[in-house]
Amino acid sequence: MNERPLPLAPDYRNACVTHLVPALLEGTEEPEWIPAAVLESDSVVLVVLDGLGWNQLGPRKGIAPTLAAMEGGSITTVAPSTTAAALTSISTGRPPGEHGLLGYRMAVSDGVLNTLRWNTADGDARTRHDPTAIQPLDCFGSQRPPVVTWSAFANSGFTRAHLAGARLVGFKDREGFVDNVVDLIAASEPFVYAYWDGIDHTAHEFGLADRYDEELAKCDRMIANLLDRLPPGTAVMVTADHGQVHVGDSMIDLPAEVTTLLAGQSGEARFRWLHARPAAAADLAVAVREAFDAVAWVRTADEVVDAGWLGPVVAQAARDRLGDVAVVARDGVGFVDPAEVIPIRLIGRHGSLTPDEMLVPALGAVV
């Protein structure tokens, strides 16, 4: 009998995305997995390539020669391995249990908040759920570095939650991304944060196939262009918020034995939080284990907290946003929430604690 793999928990004490900003911007840490030359540089660009998992990059080094030539290796992202939680952990340097942005769809007082769109079933939630109250921690150590990101993101609730206080420098295309970074370093900025989400969008819509390879190759050339244009002595550090798993049509509906005990769902397809009806939490945990133990890690909220998946500390506000039972996909499947409306069919997904989702690059080079 083959043993079932264990979840790959975030390495919050050492090699985790939470340590990047404290090391590169604040200088309060010197992780051994960040190249020494990067830590010694007078100016640093931290590039986050949304969705670029280490296990996806590994077999594709031939189409990403620039990234392949950089120094470093893999580190873990956070749990859940999803954009809202991980990008906020990068900017704050803190685990999700402390900053409280616990995933793509999160339980709040009046329903479920889509943290990327910052809306609920009642529409725009920016006035009903103040982003800086939902996520109250300082970003970038209370410093105000420039952040190069899409112009369209400037006024979003998620931007206000995870980039509060930063100086946003918008771009509209790949060329603008590179130009903005180069201009900021030329203006003597010591630290620039730059975000690109093309790999993530491509994997979601087209899976880990030809279109994914094309986007990865374009991103590799983008990093090469940066290294060619930045002045000598500038360091470039590349990381990501999560990897990807091919799911496609392998979506599982919850059986009646589970749904009859449910008050609702939150989270995402590969890290689904189930919220029990009153007095039904224990029965829900039993029913979910019976239904999904063969394909998922099933944990109660207390077990998730005690295992440290959300960090060594879980603030009460964050604890209140959890469901009663987490269904965390171990196989290449997702779990359906009928209330979750997505405009496109997602082929690639993420959120769980498999190596394909949890391991991300931490690669550096100095011009």
The answer to whether position 1 is within a domain reads: no
Coil, helix or strand at residue 215: helix
Say if residue 113 is in the same domain as residue 157. yes
pLDDT at position 173 over 60: yes
Nearest to 127 by CA among 135, 136, 119: 119
CA separation for the pair 283, 355 (Å, rounded) = 31
- State the average pLDDT over residues 111-137: 96
Tell me if the pTM is above 0.85.
yes
The answer to whether position 4 is within a domain reads: no
Q: What percent of the chain has pLDDT over 70?
A: 99
CA separation for the pair 53, 56 (Å, rounded) = 5
Q: Would you state the pLDDT for residue 247? A: 98
Say if residue 228 is in the same domain as residue 298. no
CATH code of the domain containing 101? 3.40.720.10
CA separation for the pair 159, 118 (Å, rounded) = 10
Nearest to 134 by CA among 165, 98, 174: 98
- Give whole-number Cα distances, 208 to 104, 113, 215, 220, 255, in Å: 21, 29, 11, 16, 30
Say if residue 22 is in the same domain as residue 103. yes
- State the average pLDDT over residues 219-247: 98
Say if residue 63 is in the same domain as residue 21. yes
Total structural domains in the chain?
A: 2
The answer to whether position 5 is within a domain reads: no
Say if residue 230 is in the same domain as residue 294. no
pLDDT at position 2 over 80: no
The string of pLDDT tens digits covering residues 53-106 is: 999 999 999 999 999 999 999 999 999 999 999 999 999 999 999 999 999 999
Instruction: DSSP for 290-318, please give it.
Output: HHHTTTEEEEEHHHHHHTTTT-S---HHH
Q: Would you state the pLDDT for residue 142? A: 86
Give residue for tokens 């390539």. 49
The answer to whether position 164 is within a domain reads: yes
- In whole numbers, what is the pLDDT of the chain averaged over residues? 97
pLDDT at position 1 over 70: no
- DSSP state at residue 16: B
Sign of CA dihedral 319, 325, 328, 333: negative
The string of pLDDT tens digits covering residues 55-64 is: 999 999 999 9
The string of pLDDT tens digits covering residues 316-347 is: 999 999 999 999 999 999 999 999 988 889 99
The answer to whether position 172 is within a domain reads: yes
pLDDT at position 40 over 80: yes
Rounded (5°) CA angle 364-82-241: 5
Q: Would you state the pLDDT for residue 17? A: 98
pLDDT at position 311 over 80: yes
- Give whole-number Cα distances, 260 to 212, 267, 296, 366, in Å: 40, 19, 20, 57
Say if residue 76 is in the same domain as residue 156. yes
CA separation for the pair 99, 89 (Å, rounded) = 7
CATH code of the domain containing 267? 3.30.1360.180
Domain hosting 268: range is 251-344
- Helix, strand, coil percentages in the chain from 3-state DSSP, rounded to 5: 35, 25, 40
Give residue for tokens 């603030």. 315
The string of pLDDT tens digits covering residues 181-220 is: 999 999 999 999 999 999 999 999 999 999 999 999 999 9
The answer to whether position 7 is within a domain reads: no
The answer to whether position 11 is within a domain reads: no
Nearest to 217 by CA among 200, 235, 199, 234: 199
Q: Would you state the pLDDT for residue 342? A: 86
Say if residue 224 is in the same domain as residue 339. no
Say if residue 197 is in the same domain as residue 285. no
Say if residue 288 is in the same domain as residue 335. yes
pLDDT at position 49 over 60: yes
Say if residue 232 is in the same domain as residue 283. no
**Residue 244: band (very low, low, confident or very high) from pLDDT cuts 50, 70, 90:** very high
The answer to whether position 223 is within a domain reads: yes
pLDDT at position 176 over 80: yes
Say if residue 175 is in the same domain as residue 291. no
Say if residue 150 is in the same domain as residue 212. yes
